[in-house]
Chains A and B, each alone.
Chain A
Amino acid sequence: MLKIISPIMRIIEIPMLFAQRRLGIQRLAWLFLLPNLLLFGLFAFLPVFLNFAYALTGGDGILLEDRPYVGGQNFATLTDCENYLDPNSCNRDFFWRAVHNTVWFVTLQVGFMVGFSLLTALILNRDIRARGFFRSVFFFPVLLSPVVVALIWKWILQRNGLLNSTLEGIGLEGFVWLLDRGWAFAWSVFLTVWAHMGFYTLILLAGLQAIPRDVYEAALMDRASPWRTFRKITLPLLAPTMLVVLVLALIRSVQTFDEVFAFTGGGPGSATTFIIQYIYQTGFAGAPRLFGLASAASLMLALILVILTGLQLWANRRNVDG
C-alpha cells in the first residue's frame, strides 16, 4: 500500500513546496482546501442553484439553453388538485399518489423504527451475556446493500417461498404477498425497519449508557419500582437522544427509494411508489424526460428536508445543552 502511495505523495509535494514558498504557511491552507471546495462547489452548491432554474423551465432538453422558461407552471401542474386528499382528482395523480404513499410510509415506518429500536436498546442495555455479540447482531442488516435486502425478502415472500410453506405447515393459507397493495406496502415498511433498525438502536444504546449509574442507584435506595424508574428516570434522560433519533429517522424515511424500488418496483400499481421514485421516473426512466417536473418535485422534497434538518439542528442543540 505504502509503496503505491508514497511516490504519489512525493510528486504532489513538489508543487506544494513551490506554493508554500510563494504563499507562506497560513495561506497554504487554501490549497489544501481547494480540491474539496471544487467538488463541493461543482456537485453540491451549483446543483442547488441549477435546480431552481430547471424547476422554472419546460421541455425535455437537458441543456438549460434548450429549455423554454415556463415560470411556475411545473409547480402549478404538480399542485393542480381538486382535493389534495384524493390523488385521483389531481392533474399529476402519480405525484400525489407518491406523496400520499410517502406520508403513510413515513408515519408507520418511523413509528415502528423508533419503537423497536428503543425496545432493543433497552434490552441490550441490561446485564446480559455476550452483550457485544448481541449488539452487533442487530446491526448486521444495516451493512447489507438495499438490493440484497430486497432480494432476500422477495425470495422468502414469493409464492413458493419459505413464509407460505411455513404458514401452510401450521394450517394457514399461503398468499401472493407482493401482488396485494396493502401487503406489499406493509412488507415494505417491515423490510426498511428490518434493514435500518440497528443503526438507531446503537444511537439509543449510547444514549442509555450516558445516563449516570448513580441516578439508578438512588432510585434503588428509594425502592422505586422498575416501571417507575423507567418512566421517571430513563425516559426523561433519554428524551434528547430520542428526539435526535426521531428526526434522523424521519429525514431518512422521506428519502426512501432503493430497497423498496428493488423490492416491489413501486407496485403493485403504484402502491409503493414514493417521492424519490416519482423524481427518478419523471426525470430519468421514462420518455420524454420531464426534467422540469422532476426538479420541481425535488424542490418540494427539499422543502420538507430543510424543515426536518432545522428540527434536527434544534434537537442537537437541546441535546448539547441538556
Chain B
Amino acid sequence: MSMGKVLDFMTRTRGGAKMDWTDWVTYGYLGLGIFLMFFPVIWLIMSSFKTEADLQRYPPTFLPYQQETMMVDGYDDPLPLFLMTGGEYEGQVLAQVRRVGLQAQMVDPAAPQERLRVSIENREPVDRVSLAFENYTGLFERFNFLRFLWNSTFITVIATAIMLLVNSMAAFALSKYQFRGRTTVLLLVIGTLMIPQTVVLVPLFLITRELGMLNSLWGVIIPGAATPTGVFLLRQYMVTIPDEILDAARMDKASEWKIFWRIIVPLSAPAIAVLAILAIMWRWNDFLWPLIVLSESENFTLQLALNAFQGEMQTEWSSLLAMTVLTLLPVAVVFMFLQKYIATGIASTGGK
C-alpha cells in the first residue's frame, strides 16, 4: 500500500468521498474539544508531580523538573548543580555550597577543596525530569489524608448500599403489587422529585440534629438515602419483568422476600448497576450537605478537606494538587469503565 493510499484511508469520510470543508471543521472542533476537556486535567496531574520550587517557576513547564544534585566530598548533604553561563568558569558544572545575596559560593565537584565565588547571574540550574512523589507521600505523613479518604469511601459505599436496597424494595412494591394507594404513593414519589435538598437546608439541618446525626457520617448518609430518581428508574425497569415468573415462584412456595431477593434483584441487575454508578458519583462528589453537617475536620470528606485546605495552603500548591489528583482518581477509573456505555448505551438509542 502506497503512502498516498494510507493517507487516503486515514482521511476517508462518508463512502470514501473527499474531505470537504465541513469535515475539516468537524475534526477541528473535536480536536479542540479533546484539548479543552482533557488538557486541564492532564496539566493538573503533571503539576502535581512538581516540587514546590518547580511549581513557582515562571513560565511553567509541562514536564516536572527537579534540580540535579550531587554528593561532594566534605559535605554531608547533596549539593545542587549549576551550569555556568558566563564569567570565569563558563561551561563548567559547579555545585553550590551556599548563596549570599547576589553571590554564590560554589565548588568544582572534581576539586572540592577550593571555594569559588560566582555571580548568581552567571549560573543556571541543571535540571532533569523527575516526579516529585513526596507530594503524595507527604499527604499521608503530614495530613489526616487517610482519614478523609476513609470518610469519603465510607459515606459513598454505605449510602449507595442503603439506597440500592431501599429503592429497589420500593420499586418492587410499586411495580409488582396491586394494592390500594399505589397511585398515591407514586404521586408522592413524583412530588419528592421536585424538592431539591437545596431549598430545605434549614429544616433538614434541624431534623438531622434532632436525630443526633450532626457531625457524624450518618448525618450525610441517611438524609440522602431515599432518592425518587432511583425508585423511578428501577420501577420502570421492573415493570418489564413478566409477572408469570413471580407466580411460578409462588407456586413453589417461595416467600415474597425471597422472590424479591432471588428473582427481581438479579433480573434488574442492569438498572441497578446504572443506579449504583450514579449513586457513587453523587455521593463521592457531594459538597453542600456534608459542608453543613460536618463541622469537625476529622469527619471531613475529601471534598471538604480539599476546599478547606485550598484556603490554608495558598502558598503550598504541591500538597493541594496531589490531593486533588487523588480525589479525581476514582472518577477517572469510573470513567474508563463507563466510556463504553456512554458511547453505545445512552446516545445510540435511535440511530446507527
Contact = CB atoms under 8 A, between A and B. Distances in A.
B292 A48 contact: no
B344 interface: yes
A218 B310 CA distance: 58
B231 A29 contact: no
A125 B351 CA distance: 9
A33 B174 contact: yes
A198 B222 CA distance: 30
Contact of A257 (B198, B327, B338, B342): B198
A315 interface: no
B292 A209 contact: no
A9 B261 contact: yes
Contacts of B185: 33, 37
Nearest to B285: A145
A225 B33 CA distance: 27
Interface of A: 9, 12-13, 16-17, 20, 25-30, 32-33, 35-37, 39-40, 42-48, 50-51, 53-54, 62-64, 119-120, 123-128, 131-141, 143-148, 151-156, 160-162, 165, 168-169, 194, 198, 202, 205-206, 208-211, 213, 226, 255, 257-258, 261-262, 276, 279-280, 283-284, 291, 294-295, 298-299, 301-302, 305-306, 309
A83 B240 CA distance: 57
Contacts of A143: 281, 331, 334-335, 338
B328 A144 contact: yes
B215 interface: no
A245 to B, nearest CB: 14
B288 A257 contact: yes
A141 to B, nearest CB: 6
B179 interface: yes
Interface in B22-40: 22, 26-27, 29-30, 33-34, 36-38, 40
Of all A-B residue pairs in the complex, the 6 with the closest CB atoms, nearest first, are A132-B343, A39-B226, A50-B203, A209-B350, A145-B285, A47-B200
A181 to B, nearest CB: 20
A140 B335 contact: yes
Contacts of B256: 16, 20, 25, 28
Nearest to B59: A165
Most chain A Cβ neighbours within 10 Å, of B29, B38, B202, B334: B202
B43 interface: yes
Contact of B222 (A25, A43, A48, A124): A43
Contacts of A206: 346-347, 349-350
Given A29-B173, A208-B351, A295-B202, 11 more contacts: A44-B200, A62-B206, A120-B33, A125-B351, A145-B328, A154-B310, A160-B56, A209-B349, A226-B22, A258-B288, A280-B292
B307 A35 contact: no
24 contacts: A13-B257, A29-B182, A35-B170, A37-B170, A37-B188, A40-B226, A44-B192, A44-B195, A47-B207, A50-B203, A123-B26, A134-B30, A134-B34, A137-B30, A148-B306, A161-B60, A165-B60, A209-B350, A211-B350, A257-B287, A262-B310, A276-B198, A276-B288, A283-B205
